[in-house]
Amino acid sequence: MQEFYTLAMLVSIATFTLTATITPGPNNVMLLSSGLTFGYKKTLPHIFGVFLGFSLMVLLVGLGVGIIFEKFPIVLEILKVIGILYLLWMAFKIANSKGKMNIKEKNKPFTFIQAALFQWVNPKGWIMAITSISIFVTSKDNSIEQVIIIALIFLLSGVISTNTWAMGGVALKKFIKDETHVRKFNILMAVLLVLSVLPVIFE
């Protein structure tokens, strides 16, 4: 690994990926809400879908999918629009969650597949993937190895960030036991989810 990156560069990548994945964004807001509403165990598929799905996305972008967006920028713009509309729909669903603590309502936590596929329409995800590849792939000769290393570091950072936010929701559950308070909290999460999309809309 040393021949592909210096220790200082690895630390730099790790700092970037952890900061990028643990800061508030669509994935983390939904994980926080899911942890509170459904509990940690029921949120596990969502957690795995996020960090595995996003790491795969980084890998594929680094291995050549990103070229498509360079040649056909309209494709990325279409994905952004789809992602924004989907996030607004998710915000609506979260805001209208009944907040029942026994989880017998129709609303269900994300499945692994849903969470993994969501990464491909998450505007923040695209920005993170493209930015990390463009900054940290520094060698044409070792580009494949570097992309794999970046994806693996994102995987580790994703494990930390997804569990942190989901467990944060579980921790809040100890203090927010009234269903009305859960409903209000989910409305707040829905507002934050919408706010997380605004920078992409007005960029």
Q: What is the pLDDT of residues 79-119, one digit of tens each?
A: 677 767 776 777 787 777 655 544 444 468 899 999 999 99
Dig out the tokens for 176 from the structure: 């927010």
Chain centroid, CA 41 distance in Å: 19
Residue 189 has pLDDT above 80, yes or no: no
Question: Residue 131 and residue 136: Cα distance in Å, rounded?
Answer: 8
pLDDT value at position 45? 97
Of 8-17, 54-63, 79-88, 128-137, where does mean pLDDT reach its minimum? Answer: 79-88
Report the predicted TM-score, pTM, of the whole model to 2 decimal places.
0.75
Between CA 33 and CA 200 the distance in angstroms is: 22
Secondary-structure breakdown of the chain: helix, strand, coil percentages, each rounded to the nearest 5: 80, 0, 20
Q: Which residue has tokens 């927010």?
A: 176
Confirm if 191 and 29 have CB atoms less than 8 A apart: no
Phi and psi at residue 137, to the nearest 5°: -85, 105
With a cut of 50, say whether residue 77 has pLDDT above it. yes
Among 57-71, 109-123, 171-185, the range of highest mean pLDDT = 109-123
Higher-pLDDT residue of 117, 64: 117
Q: Is 7 left (phi over 0), alpha (psi -120 to 50) or beta?
A: alpha
The pLDDT, as a whole number, for residue 159 is 97
Positive or negative: CA dihedral 132, 136, 140, 144: negative
CA atoms within 13 A on the CB side of 15: 6
DSSP letters spanning 56-122: HHHHHIIIIIHHHHHH-HHHHHHHHHHHHHHHHHHHHHHHT----TT--SS--PPPHHHHHHHGGG-
The residue written with tokens 């829905």 in the block is 190
Tokens of 76: 């990325």
Question: What percent of the chain stands above pLDDT 70?
Answer: 81
Most confident of 31-35, 96-100, 154-158, 187-191: 154-158
Comparing 138 with 54, the larger pLDDT belongs to 54
